[in-house]
Amino acid sequence: MKFDTPATTNPIDQLKVIGKPTSRIDGPLKTTGTAPYAYERHDVVPDQVYGYVVGAGIAKGRIASLSVAEAKAVPGVLAVVTHETAGKLGKGKRNAAPLLGGPEIAHYHQAVALVVAESFEQARAAANLVRVEYRKTDGAFDLARAKDAMGDSAEHKKEDSVVGDFAAAFAAAPVKLDETYSTPDETHAMMEPHASIAAWQGDRLTVWTSNQMIDWAATDLAETLKMPKEKVRVISPFVGGGFGGKLFLRADTLLAALGARAAGRPVKVALPRPMMANNTTHRPATIQRVRIGATADGRITAIAHESWSGNLPDGKPETATDQTRLLYAGANRLSGTRLAHLDLPEGNAMRAPGEAPGLMVLEIAMDEMAERLKIDPVEFRILNDTQVDPEKPERPFSQRQLVQCLRTGAERFGWSKRSAEPARMREGRWLVGIGMAAAFRNNLLTKSAARVRLDKRGVVTVETDMTDIGTGSYTIIAQTAAEMMGVGLDRVVVRLGDSSFPASAGSGGQWGANNSTAGVYAACVKLREAVAQKLGFNSADAQFADGQVGSGNRRVPLAQAAGDGELTAEDGIEYGDLDKKAQQSTFGAHFVEVGVDAATAEIRVRRMLAVCAAGRILNPLSARSQVIGAMTMGVGAALMEELAVDTRGGFFVNHDLASYEVPVHADIPHQEVIFLDETDPMSSPMKAKGVGELGLCGVGAAIANAVYNATGVRVRDYPVTLDKLIDRMPPIG
């Protein structure tokens, strides 16, 4: 189905099932421990054995010698895979470095071998006997040093976005801000590690894995193994968290396939927790400079945002300036990203890539500018709202309720009670502060397909390779099919995460819900037409409700259309140029109250509120869960999370959950979420947008701004930890 004109009315608008707070249909499987995750699929293929990955012990250099003789002598060992035995491999286009290293080493813990054995313990013991000697070479591991070495050459600026004359406007501005901020490297730390089971049947490969993007995984695995894609099947019905770290083919999947081929047995591989930090992808650190010039009454006349981040030579920079191009008005604009080549593990997508670290900086800068102007931070943002793309004024936003989010949040949170002067609110030992930040995340349109079956019992089965990473995909897809076909949720079966199903949008970038349900919508439209034709109705007039199809006074059971077999339809959603006619984005506002211990500088988050405008909310219950989970992640980014880089050895030191801190229940206070009433007919037939990443965007800055309001101490380098506050705190008393 081609969707290139704004949708008006359609069956989804009935809102009998869509839009209702619906408990997740996969919930019972999750809570009873019966949901089949990748490493636990003992029943899918017999005679499974275990693989254990050996990671590189250096960050850059090459293998001088590699001996596997001792490992092979361990009882139970079936095979050892290295670059010398794996055969010639390709490289998936989404991988910055080969997933199996050797002889060249690109980063610390790059896989250099896989030991396959009858038991996990045998494989692990033998892996410790793989002898690797390296020729180590110097590498670049320090972003600040790499940034300084880059200088300010035109080469690094050639892809900057420039509108007007920023330099002249900034120089002439009566009020200016020019500050530099930083965000650290962060790891995904999802509950389920990267894990796969691989089995060969002749020249056909099946992999049960934990992956967010099934079609990407199948494509890149086939390219890496240099085999036809149609002979690769990837299955991932349940994913125990991804956050972007499982968007791509990773070493566990490739090595399981190579190990299974070498051993002649199905092989299961899970990456140990330390390898999740150093072997897989992470959110790269940034150094960001923001300059804002404004008139005395607070109108922005010049705004610039530049970001430096590191990655492997074939990697990409963090797109931390994207939101600044669209969020606030200002005639003269400059934004750009700079890539510093670092020899650390690959930096790539982590929940809300770009906007999450970008808003952590921009929204502190906006608060600092509001203070210099002596304008309330909420009012400063409202004053600089825009209803058109600031870089392309001829292009309006399809929907933009940022001002409504800000005003609603300010009223609900009690913003008027905030002291404009920092360090003036106190409750006993606690200095109390309130902060806020705007939220922004783009709405991305991605084609997505599905297959829908109707059987003689009147049961509708949906098949699509869409994944559920804990987001509720099973439920919203079931709701979509139920609404379209006029049946209850108990008459819908949803099958996900299999590359033999039609390719969906996949789960990532906040695009999954809107696009995958739009693909199911398209398939259901085709099935409705087939049903109407089979039952003798005009498809334009046929009504689908309560398990029946009708028009006028005639009603026929839906199941009758299937006869003694089943009726099948397959279609997908493809978009025209609507995103060129209008800018599609989601907006929100975050409000936070913190307490800071006057003696120790300990920070406690006390209250949080998110107000979101993100198109039609398909399931308010699961959407709220997504937003409060993202808000929790924002607390971690603001106050705790930081991968510590050993700049001598080139690796992340705190690479497990004992030393990489994330929020726990005791860290998280009352959280409130408000969804503004909004439908966006230009987004899709569902009139929806994503919301899961919007809940993260801006949270870190709201917390940092609240800490400043409590203490009068401005921290521009995340995370905001007590050591950055304690020597600068107001005197006790």
Among 394, 428, 436, smallest CA distance to 411 is for: 436
Candidates 368, 483, 641, 693; catalytic one: 693
Tell the residue number behind the tokens 């695995």, with chain if given: 221
Output the six-digit token pair for 411.
Answer: 């009223």
Rounded CA-CA distance 229/422 in Å is 60
Rounded CA-CA distance 133/105 in Å is 12
Q: Please enumerate in sequence order all residues whose Cβ is within 8 A of that of 78, keeping only pairs 6 or more positions apart, or say none.
A: 49, 116, 117, 118, 262, 263, 264, 265
Q: Give Cα 223 to chain centroid, integer Å.
A: 25
Q: Give Cα 40 to chain centroid, integer Å.
A: 25
Decide: helix, strand or coil at residue 666. Answer: helix
Q: Are 528 and 534 in contact (CB under 8 A)?
A: no
Given CA atoms 452, 454, 458, 459 in this order, what sign does their dihedral have? negative
Output the six-digit token pair for 21.
Answer: 């707070």
Rounded CA-CA distance 288/180 in Å is 6
Given CA atoms 126, 128, 129, 133 in this order, what sign does their dihedral have? positive
Residue 327 identity (one-letter amino acid):
L
Decide: helix, strand or coil at residue 359. Answer: helix
Rounded CA-CA distance 305/355 in Å is 12
Helix/strand/coil percentages in the chain, nearest 5: 30, 30, 45
Rounded CA-CA distance 598/591 in Å is 22
Q: How far is CA 503 from CA 234, 362, 449, 515, 684, in A?
A: 12, 37, 6, 11, 18
Residue 70 is a catalytic residue: no
Decide: helix, strand or coil at residue 263. Answer: helix
Q: Give Cα 146 to chain centroid, integer Å.
A: 27
Rounded CA-CA distance 78/75 in Å is 9
Phi, psi of 501 (to 5 degrees): -90, 165
Catalytic residues: 693
